[in-house]
């Protein structure tokens, strides 16, 4: 068992193995103490016999921490951060932390179910939490051969209320996009919205653009990185494009290139600065080395129109290009989709022809929206 010494503010473990007491203190964290306790057990019993000994001393809190350490090894960092936040926020409260897992009863499982039921979440989120608990106890079963059956018979949550679906448009008409961009007073956001639409970028791709993504000499713009804000610490990380095809180079139209030059010059942007940087306020200057936060961008879209989302621009572009005679293969390549079953040789032979067709249309769209 693990305890906290409030006098010197350190943790210690106290364990009895074969009649011998093992006590060690001076640890700075609960996690470190648990790890050292596990190491002790494995050093005394280096084979499968240690499973029952660990289980007999394993509290619900200890189990969750072991499960978290296990997930950290086998899940992507962004997903793990999401799990870690959820654990700290809610999962530790569903069962008594200091209760031994082997002593948990049906009443404990029912209480956990009721707690999740009474939370102010939708049914999908409630079921996600319940399934996480089932996954945790299955980890306990796989690791220590203890099957806490009561958790696995708990029913999923269902919504029996009758609702009528309100259909929301998934495609923005061209006139709608024009009006939104023209209505935008900020030149910064006007360029961001235009870029989002004409290249069909995912929001993470848009925010990953830097000044060095642009080559005015070659008249190209490259999406070579994306930005992810789901890090768990309030910051962001730079990640590779979603797929191999997502790392793409598109051409710049003359009209759009002029807008970019004006944007870069007016904000004094350097080569390594983000094109759509973090905006300051009256107490804080703009930070060109940090991209604008995705939540800030989404909120601004909602302020223009409550039904606007970044991905609607991408979906709408597909529709408008298709309606104007661009083939679905060309569009998929333009947007960086990874599902085209056409050889790279075909792309290379036809790329110039495709670029010309799309360029002419994009040039026309930019002129219309700027007019």
Predicted TM-score (pTM) of this structure: 0.53
| Cα–Cα distance measured from residue 248 to residue 226, given in angstroms and rounded to the nearest whole number | 12
Judgement on whether residues 199 and 102 belong to the same structural domain of the protein? no
| Cα–Cα distance measured from residue 330 to residue 322, given in angstroms and rounded to the nearest whole number | 9
* Contact (CB, 8 A) for 330 and 358: yes
Q: Which helix (H) or strand (E) holds 174?
A: helix 174-183
Average pLDDT over residues 187-191: 94
Neighbours of 236 (CB within 10 A): 19
Judgement on whether residues 201 and 276 belong to the same structural domain of the protein? yes
pLDDT band at 341; cut points 50, 70, 90: very low
Average pLDDT over residues 217-238: 86
| Cα–Cα distance measured from residue 173 to residue 141, given in angstroms and rounded to the nearest whole number | 54
Residue 266 lies in a domain: yes
Strand partners, 249: 222
Higher-pLDDT residue of 41 and 49 is 41
- Least confident residue range of 29-38, 101-110, 243-252, 338-347: 338-347
Higher-pLDDT residue of 9 and 349 is 9
Give the number of domains in the chain.
2
Lookup result for tokens 């604008």: 292
The yes-or-no verdict on residue 257 having pLDDT over 90 is yes
Judgement on whether residues 200 and 334 belong to the same structural domain of the protein? yes
Judgement on whether residues 198 and 117 belong to the same structural domain of the protein? no
Judgement on whether residues 145 and 178 belong to the same structural domain of the protein? no
Judgement on whether residues 138 and 182 belong to the same structural domain of the protein? no
Predicted local distance difference test score (pLDDT) of residue 274: 96
Residue 57 lies in a domain: yes
Average pLDDT over residues 38-53: 62
Predicted local distance difference test score (pLDDT) of residue 349: 36
Average pLDDT over residues 154-183: 77
Polymer length of the chain: 371
Residue 164 lies in a domain: no
Judgement on whether residues 224 and 306 belong to the same structural domain of the protein? yes
Predicted local distance difference test score (pLDDT) of residue 291: 94
Question: Per-residue DSSP letters for 185-233?
Answer: --HHHHHHHHHHHHTT--HHHHHH-BGGGEETTTTEEEE--EEE--SSS
Average pLDDT, the chain: 81
Residue 166 lies in a domain: no
Higher-pLDDT residue of 14 and 174 is 174
- Least confident residue range of 2-11, 22-31, 300-309, 346-355: 346-355
Residue 111 lies in a domain: yes
Q: 124 φ, ψ to 5°?
A: -65, -40
Predicted local distance difference test score (pLDDT) of residue 362: 79
List the alpha helices (DSSP H) in 270-343. Answer: 294-304, 310-323, 328-335
Range of the domain at 94: 2-152
Higher-pLDDT residue of 164 and 310 is 310
The yes-or-no verdict on residue 271 having pLDDT over 80 is yes
Higher-pLDDT residue of 263 and 53 is 263
pLDDT band at 44; cut points 50, 70, 90: low
The yes-or-no verdict on residue 153 having pLDDT over 70 is yes
Last residue of a domain, one of 152, 186, 214: 152
The yes-or-no verdict on residue 101 having pLDDT over 70 is yes
Judgement on whether residues 183 and 126 belong to the same structural domain of the protein? no
Judgement on whether residues 223 and 331 belong to the same structural domain of the protein? yes
Judgement on whether residues 214 and 333 belong to the same structural domain of the protein? yes
Judgement on whether residues 180 and 255 belong to the same structural domain of the protein? yes
Residue 158 lies in a domain: no
Residue 157 lies in a domain: no
| Cα–Cα distance measured from residue 314 to residue 260, given in angstroms and rounded to the nearest whole number | 20
Last residue of a domain, one of 88, 121, 152: 152
| Cα–Cα distance measured from residue 291 to residue 211, given in angstroms and rounded to the nearest whole number | 12
- Torsion angle of alpha carbons 361, 365, 368, 371, nearest 10°? -120
Higher-pLDDT residue of 261 and 318 is 261
Higher-pLDDT residue of 369 and 251 is 251
pLDDT band at 263; cut points 50, 70, 90: very high
Residue 163 lies in a domain: no
The yes-or-no verdict on residue 348 having pLDDT over 50 is no
The yes-or-no verdict on residue 321 having pLDDT over 80 is no
* Contact (CB, 8 A) for 370 and 177: no
CA atoms within 13 A on the CB side of 249: 12
Last residue of a domain, one of 119, 152, 185: 152
User: Domain of 289: which CATH number?
Assistant: 1.10.443.10
Predicted local distance difference test score (pLDDT) of residue 346: 32
Judgement on whether residues 249 and 310 belong to the same structural domain of the protein? yes
């Amino acid at each position: 068992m693990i305890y906290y010494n409030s006098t010197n503010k350190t943790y210690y473990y106290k364990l009895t193995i074969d009649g011998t007491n093992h006590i060690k203190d001076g640890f700075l964290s609960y996690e470190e103490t648990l790890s050292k306790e596990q190491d002790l057990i494995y050093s005394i019993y280096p084979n499968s016999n240690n499973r029952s000994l660990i289980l007999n001393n394993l509290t619900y809190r200890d189990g969750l921490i072991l499960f978290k350490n296990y997930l950290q090894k086998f899940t992507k960092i962004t997903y793990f951060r999401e799990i870690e936040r959820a654990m700290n926020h809610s999962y530790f409260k569903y069962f008594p932390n200091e209760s031994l897992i082997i002593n948990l009863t049906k009443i404990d499982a029912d209480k956990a179910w009721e707690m999740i039921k009474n939370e102010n979440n939708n049914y999908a989120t409630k079921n996600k939490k319940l399934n996480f608990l089932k996954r945790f106890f299955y980890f306990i079963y796989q690791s220590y051969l203890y099957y806490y059956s009561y958790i696995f018979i708990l029913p999923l949550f269902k919504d029996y209320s009758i609702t009528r679906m309100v259909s929301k448009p998934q495609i923005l008409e061209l006139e709608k996009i024009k009006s939104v961009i023209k209505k935008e007073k900020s030149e910064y956001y006007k360029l961001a919205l235009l870029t989002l639409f004409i290249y069909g970028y995912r929001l993470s791709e848009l925010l990953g653009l830097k000044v060095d993504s642009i080559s005015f000499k070659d008249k190209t713009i490259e999406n070579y990185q994306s930005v992810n804000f789901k890090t768990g610490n309030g910051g962001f990380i730079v990640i590779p494009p979603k797929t191999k095809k997502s790392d793409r180079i598109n051409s710049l139209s003359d009209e759009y290139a002029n807008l970019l030059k004006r944007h870069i010059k007016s904000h004094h942007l350097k080569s390594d600065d983000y094109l759509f940087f973090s905006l300051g306020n009256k107490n804080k200057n703009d930070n060109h080395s940090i991209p604008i936060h995705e939540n800030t961008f989404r909120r601004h879209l909602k302020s223009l129109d409550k039904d606007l989302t970044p991905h609607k621009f991408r979906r709408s572009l597909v529709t408008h290009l298709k309606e104007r005679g661009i083939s679905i293969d060309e569009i998929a390549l333009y947007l960086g989709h990874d599902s085209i079953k056409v050889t790279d040789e075909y792309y290379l032979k036809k790329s110039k022809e495709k670029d010309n067709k799309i360029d002419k249309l994009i040039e026309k769209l930019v002129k219309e929206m700027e007019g």
